[in-house]
Amino acid sequence: MGGGGTTPRGAAADAGRQTYINWKEAALTGPAALTGDGAPEALSLDEHLKQLLGVSEWDPKPTLLYFHRDHEEGKENRAWDKQCGDFNDESIARWSQLYRFVEIDVAKSDAALLERFGMGEGPSFSVLDRNLEVVAKSGALVGGKKVVGFLQSTVKAKFDALWKDVSERLDAQRALLTDAKDLEKAKNLQGALDKVREVTRSWLRVGEFYDDAVREEARLVRKLADD
């Protein structure tokens, strides 16, 4: 906890998952004071926080903060144990790809920064834009469906450009699956499989058709093996 680094979370641990959560750990603290001759100029608080959270003007992803307490310490923290277990939900893993996911170590964070970024009671989430403005807060959330609903509604309501790009990509995936059906009808099974795999091997897996595409890939592989 607290130092950073990128770690697969939740669904990564389960064999056969399509997706895992790519996440970072951090504690919300101010920049360290640098002293002595030749010391570089200290970063402003916001510059420091952007570095800490991995926020960049070149990356359009919103930042998702998960305010986390150690659930091995005390009965009052059991809600976090439940929520962390719910990260095994495949749907959470898929929708998290649209965000920069950062787990915040509450115990090691500055109280004023936790308040600034909207920490709620119990397991909660906040979403930040590239200016570190809080654009959405979840309140206490426990349960896969609730988290997915929050992630989905936030990106649709608060990040128009990102959702427009995602929607266009989903339309392109639907077209690929239509092309795959036409190729199979033309007895071009390999061509059909290649089209389906452009969908199943994409990082974007939030389409309502994605699970059907995974099953279609398996079916085409079996059909090719039987030919």
Q: Could you tell me if residue 1 is inside a domain?
A: no
Q: Could you tell me if residue 66 is inside a domain?
A: yes
Query: Same structural domain for residues 172 and 138?
Result: no
What does DSSP assign to residue 136?
A: E
Residue 71 in this model has a pLDDT that exceeds 70: no
Query: Same structural domain for residues 47 and 152?
Result: yes
Q: What is the mean pLDDT of residues 187-214?
A: 96
Distances (CA, A) of 44 to 33, 35, 50, 187, 219: 11, 15, 10, 62, 55
Q: Using alpha carbons only, how large is the chain's radius of gyration in Å?
A: 21
Q: What is the pLDDT of residue 112?
A: 95
Listed residues 158, 189, 209: the one ending a domain: 158
Q: Can you tell me whether residue 83 is helix, strand or coil?
A: helix
- What is the maximum alpha-carbon separation in the chain? 74
Q: What is the mean pLDDT of residues 77-84?
A: 67
Q: Could you tell me if residue 90 is inside a domain?
A: yes
Query: Same structural domain for residues 142 and 198?
Result: no
Q: What is the pLDDT of residue 135?
A: 96
Query: Same structural domain for residues 152 and 179?
Result: no
pLDDT band at 1 (very low <50, low <70, confident <90, very high): very low
* Percentage of the chain exceeding pLDDT 70: 81
215: containing domain: 163-226
pLDDT digits (tens, 9 = 90+) for 139-172: 776 667 888 999 999 999 999 999 999 999 999 9
Listed residues 113, 133, 158: the one ending a domain: 158
Query: Same structural domain for residues 108 and 190?
Result: no
Query: Same structural domain for residues 122 and 96?
Result: yes
Return mean pLDDT, the chain.
Answer: 84
Query: Same structural domain for residues 82 and 113?
Result: yes
Residue 128 in this model has a pLDDT that exceeds 60: yes
Q: What is the pLDDT of residue 170?
A: 98
Query: What are the backbone dihedrals phi and psi of residue 188, each rounded to the nearest 5 degrees, phi first?
Result: -100, 80
Lowest mean pLDDT among 73-82, 136-145, 200-209: 73-82
Q: Which of 20-34, 142-156, 194-208 has the highest mean pLDDT?
A: 194-208
- For the beta sheet containing 6-9, the strands, ordered from the edge strand earlier in sequence to the opposite edge, are 6-9, 21-26, 100-105, 63-68, 124-128, 134-140
* Higher-confidence position of 19 and 188: 188
- Alpha helices, DSSP H only, in the chain? 45-53, 78-86, 90-96, 111-116, 144-158, 160-185, 189-200, 210-226
Residue 67 in this model has a pLDDT that exceeds 60: yes
Query: Same structural domain for residues 123 and 198?
Result: no
- pTM, two decimals, is 0.83
Q: Could you tell me if residue 207 is inside a domain?
A: yes
> What is the domain-level CATH number for residue 99?
3.40.30.10
Query: Same structural domain for residues 124 and 19?
Result: yes
Residue 88 in this model has a pLDDT that exceeds 90: no
* Higher-confidence position of 171 and 138: 171
Query: Same structural domain for residues 125 and 168?
Result: no
Query: Same structural domain for residues 15 and 75?
Result: yes
Q: What is the pLDDT of residue 39?
A: 42
Number of domains the chain is built from: 2
Pull the structure tokens for residue 174: 């639907």
How many of the other CB atoms lie within 10 Å of CB of 15? 4
Q: What is the pLDDT of residue 120?
A: 84
Q: What is the pLDDT of residue 69?
A: 79
The CA distance from 103 to 122, in Å, is 14
